Amino acid sequence: MLARMDALEEVLMCKLDDGRKAVDPCTIVIFGASGDLTARKLIPALYHLFKEQSLPVPFRVVGFARREKTDEAFRAELGEALKQFSRTKPVDEKVWAAFSANIFYCMGDFGDAAAYEKLAKLLKSFGEPKLADNLLFYLATSPSQFAECVEHLHNVNLLRKDTNAHWQRVVVEKPFGHDLASAHELNAGLTKHAHEKQILRIDHYLGKETVQNILMFRFSNSIFEQIWNRASVEQVQITVSEKIGVGGRGGYYEEAGALRDMVQNHLLQILALVAMEPPATLEAEAIRDEKVKLLKSIRPLRPADVEKQVVRGQYFAGQVGTEFRPGYRQEPKVKPDSNVETFVAMKLFIDNWRWSSVPFYLRTGKNLPLGASEVRVQFRPTPSVLFAAQAGQKLDANAITLRLQPEEGITLRFNGKIPGTSLSVRPVRMSFSYESEFGAYTPEAYERLLLEAIAGDATLFIRRDEVETAWGIVDAIRAGWNGKPLSNREFYSAGTWGPVASDDLLAQAGHAWRNPLPMAPKTT
């Protein structure tokens, strides 16, 4: 294993020195281009990639949507949106002018075959063969339209399985179904006219710099990897807390809930990266193979297990900071007697050699006191035979905390002697901050993901078996709930860290949640 780790570390470090991604000239076609995602995320991300000279030369961006508009009007709309959503302000007008000259618009209905013929004609008009053959289709549409778009693209020969000299890829946004059966149907529709390797399922969480750094932290630092197992680790806590409430998404949340919205994708993906075995290489399929193996190693939950290991919650009216928030049942488009969960906490076990008997605690929720995402790996305590009498409760367990957002960084918690004549001990922290070490710049998740899609690197995208395995876990939990109403112990006030039942879940094993800490004030 040590030899394998040394080889993997060498590959990791080499990959850092490779420089820019190799990208071929291509056209990026955005379906649903008049929607919010294009204006808020996709065009700003492409603009910044262009500004940093990371996009291929030449390239084109084509917006495909129902509304009638000219190329000039489309560019003007996007330019105004960029002023609002760009991560750097003000927008460089010269860079925008050069970038926007490559943006075009194609009006058409997603179900109209003639519109796809018009799209094919537009692509050929660009002159450069690669711009008409190297194609990235970004489906910023409803999932119900994914298969329809793919079929129409295939029918006009814009999406082919048998291409060798050129490439076509399809990017789809979550949700990837709403249960295992619908995910299977969706995947079957996508792969009818495209190979699995051409389908890139995007989860913006995997594009975050600190989420990607989990693998680097684990597998390029032998001092940590050697203690990353059941012999040293007592428990692992993964928290993704949101300070915001449901707000205007009440209609969506009534269908999804926190389990489908957050656990099925974000939390299980983080769990897989934290707990997976080292891959043989850094090739996309090797990494995704290990993630799937990990997800399949999660102990199945029967209905009786769900009752003991999973807690849901729903917020009622309360104070978040200085702001009063209404209860979930008072939010727009929410049923007055809704039992939909806005909070989920669970205890999972991974039945493999590395993690046998170690509990993994996952939680996520809306209207919590702080918006933060972090992983806390807590190590087994030392025998209480030396310092317990002097330190008592202050003798805390060692822990490593990976802060994914905000104030991204890594903290090592250990016990230290308080200066003085007495033998007094208290926990201290050794902290690493991304901003302090590397500067404030961190690329937006969509910048990284779009560049990876253009380069054809599927590492940060979710494979079909990952999606379906995760849905199997979530479906078992929903079956365990089976329409049961929320109990009094499952409601929580907005502005608190969740329901009492969540604390009870950990107390069963003598554990307690460690809540994320607020960001330290910046000094000037």
pLDDT confidence tier of residue 162, bands split at 50, 70 and 90: confident
Question: How much is the pLDDT for 12?
Answer: 43
Question: How much is the pLDDT for 421?
Answer: 66
CB contact set of 127 (below 8 Å; sequence gap of 6+): none
Pseudo-torsion of CA 124, 166, 206, 315, nearest 10°? Answer: 40
Beta-carbon neighbour count of residue 182 at 10 Å? 15
Are both 2-205 and 207-377+462-506 of the same fold? no
Q: Mind listing the pLDDT tens digit for each residue in 273-296?
A: 999 999 998 888 999 999 999 999
Mean pLDDT, to the nearest integer, of 354-379?
A: 96
Q: What angle do CA 276, 279, 282 make, to 5 degrees?
A: 125
Q: Is the pLDDT of residue 7 over 60?
A: no
What backbone phi and psi angles, to 5 degrees, belong to 350? -110, 115
pLDDT confidence tier of residue 518, bands split at 50, 70 and 90: confident
In the block, tokens 């656990």 appear at 263
Q: Is the pLDDT of residue 523 over 60?
A: no
Question: How much is the pLDDT for 299?
Answer: 96
**Dihedral class, residue 247 (left if φ above 0, else alpha if ψ from -120 to 50, else beta):** left
Q: Which residue has the higher pLDDT, 211 or 422?
A: 211
Q: Which two tokens stand for residue 370?
A: 């702080």
Q: How far is CA 404 from CA 9, 222, 349, 476, in A?
A: 22, 21, 23, 28
Question: How much is the pLDDT for 307?
Answer: 92
Whole-number Å distance between alpha carbons of 62 and 115 = 13
Whole-number Å distance between alpha carbons of 430 and 414 = 8
Question: How large a percentage of the chain has pLDDT more than 90?
Answer: 67
pLDDT confidence tier of residue 423, bands split at 50, 70 and 90: low
Active-site annotation holds for 511:
no
Mean pLDDT, to the nearest integer, of 310-326?
A: 94
Domain ranges, ordered by start, for the chain: 2-205, 207-377+462-506
Look over the chain and give the mean of its residue pLDDT values, rounded to a whole number. Answer: 88
Whole-number Å distance between alpha carbons of 454 and 134 = 9
Catalytic one among 193, 195, 266, 511? 266
| Fold classified for 2-205 | Rossmann fold (3.40.50)
The pTM of the full predicted model, rounded to 2 decimals, is 0.88
3-state secondary structure 411-433: EEEEEEECCCCCCCEEEEEEEEE
Contact 238, 363 (CB under 8 A): yes
CATH number for 207-377+462-506 (one of 1.50.10.10, 3.40.50.720, 3.30.360.10, 3.40.50.10800): it is 3.30.360.10
Question: How large a percentage of the chain has pLDDT more than 70?
Answer: 91
Q: Is the pLDDT of residue 521 over 60?
A: no
Q: Is the pLDDT of residue 87 over 90?
A: no
